[in-house]
């Protein structure tokens, strides 16, 4: 263990764990989160910090680009996490949390150079962002003052929400109003979170 990890863990045990012993005791055998968050693997995104959430409150699935893949073909850890969150944990909310300066959303515009490593798995995975890419390009084509990357990040959140609605068990719960789907775009530099409005189809600041 390097110094940073050792000091970090030591601080957790001495401070956080000691101060929250009852919480960890209560959580030791069961989790009952009511919210699932699907977000990017990006090291700058810390959902628990943004939401001031305690252990046990949010069920998190992370992948490069905070993507919800299509239900079919159903293969992969994101689909498994969604299935477990909805059918076993009965979460009441699923938040797709995208963010500013997302490397995944920028990478799909990048042309591979000879001196760069091949990223076969990344490239394959990011095909999930193609729908968002074309939607963003269409908007920028109509108005060149718009930011292509930010639009791609936001369209990617919306297409992930749309795909979530195609998961049969999510669809059933939506019809019965037992689950809510939420789209958030987080600006790393300012801390601003923008919420997607399904009526206006725009993102606007939560606060
Ligand atoms: Zn990202």
pLDDT digits (tens, 9 = 90+) for 113-153: 999 999 999 999 999 999 999 999 999 999 999 999 999 99
- Ligand 1 centre from 146 Cα, in Å? 20
Mean pLDDT, all residues of the chain: 96
116 C-alpha to ligand 1 centroid (Å):
20
Q: Measure the CA–CA gap between 202 and 207, rounded to whole angstroms.
A: 15
What CATH number is attached to the domain comprising 158? 3.40.1050.10
Asked if pLDDT for residue 72 goes beyond 90, the answer is no
Confirm whether 9 is domain-assigned.
yes
Q: Output the CA 74–ligand 1 centroid distance in Å.
A: 23
- Are 39 and 138 contained in the same domain? yes
State in Å: Cα 68 to ligand 1 middle.
13
Query: Do 60 and 17 share a structural domain?
Result: no
DSSP state of 72: S
pLDDT for residue 156: 98
Question: Is the same domain home to 195 and 119?
Answer: yes
> How far does the centroid of ligand 1 lie from the alpha carbon of residue 60, in Å?
15
Is a pLDDT exceeding 70 seen at residue 1? no
Contact predicate 104/40, CB 8 Å? yes
Same domain, yes or no, for 150 and 192? yes
Burial (CB count <10 Å: 0-12, 13-18, 19+), residue 10: exposed
Based on the fold, state whether residues 18 and 107 are members of the same structural domain: no
pLDDT per residue over 15-53, tens digit each?
999 999 999 999 999 999 999 999 999 999 999 999 999
Is 163 in the same domain as 192?
Answer: yes
pLDDT interval class at 3 (50, 70, 90): confident
Cα of 69 from ligand 1 centre, angstroms: 15
Identify the pLDDT of residue 98.
Answer: 98
Cα 137 to middle of ligand 1, angstroms: 19
What number is the average pLDDT over the span 73-83?
89
Say if 207 falls within a structural domain: no
| Burial category of 182 from C-beta neighbours within 10 Å (exposed 0-12, middle 13-18, buried 19 and up) | middle
- Asked whether residue 46 falls in the same domain as residue 137, the answer is yes
User: Is there a domain that residue 13 lies in?
Assistant: yes
Same domain, 23 and 119: no
Same domain for 106 and 157?
Answer: yes
**CA 77 to ligand 1 center in whole angstroms:** 17
Quote the ligand 1 centre to 95 CA distance (angstroms).
15
3-state secondary structure of 58: strand
In a domain, 206, yes or no: no
Same-domain check for residues 76 and 134 = yes
Band of pLDDT at residue 6, cut at 50, 70 and 90: confident
Same domain for 167 and 133: yes
Domain that holds residue 19: 1-30
Q: Is residue 94 part of a domain?
A: yes
Total number of domains constituting the chain: 2
Determine the 3-state secondary structure of 182 from DSSP: strand
Q: What is the pLDDT of residue 2?
A: 78
- Cα separation, 121 vs 133, in Å, equals 18
């Amino acid at each position: 263990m390097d110094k940073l990890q050792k000091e970090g863990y030591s601080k957790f045990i001495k401070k956080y764990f000691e101060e929250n012993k009852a919480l960890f005791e209560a959580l030791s055998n069961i989790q009952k989160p009511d919210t699932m968050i699907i977000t990017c693997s990006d090291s700058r995104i810390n959902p628990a910090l943004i939401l001031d959430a305690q252990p046990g409150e949010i069920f998190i699935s992370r992948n490069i680009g905070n993507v919800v893949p299509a239900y079919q073909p159903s293969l992969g850890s994101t689909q498994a996490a969604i299935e477990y969150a909805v059918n076993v944990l009965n979460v009441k909310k699923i938040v797709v949390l995208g963010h500013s300066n997302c490397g995944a959303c920028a990478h799909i515009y990048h042309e591979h150079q000879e001196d760069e490593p091949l990223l076969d798995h990344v490239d394959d995975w990011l095909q999930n962002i193609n729908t968002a890419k074309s939607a963003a390009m269409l908007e920028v084509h109509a108005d060149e003052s718009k930011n292509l990357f930010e639009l791609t990040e936001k369209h990617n959140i919306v297409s992930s929400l749309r795909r979530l609605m195609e998961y049969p068990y999510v669809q059933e719960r939506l019809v019965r109003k037992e689950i809510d789907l939420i789209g958030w775009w987080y600006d790393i530099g300012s801390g601003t979170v923008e919420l997607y409005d399904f009526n206006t189809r725009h993102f606007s600041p939560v606060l």
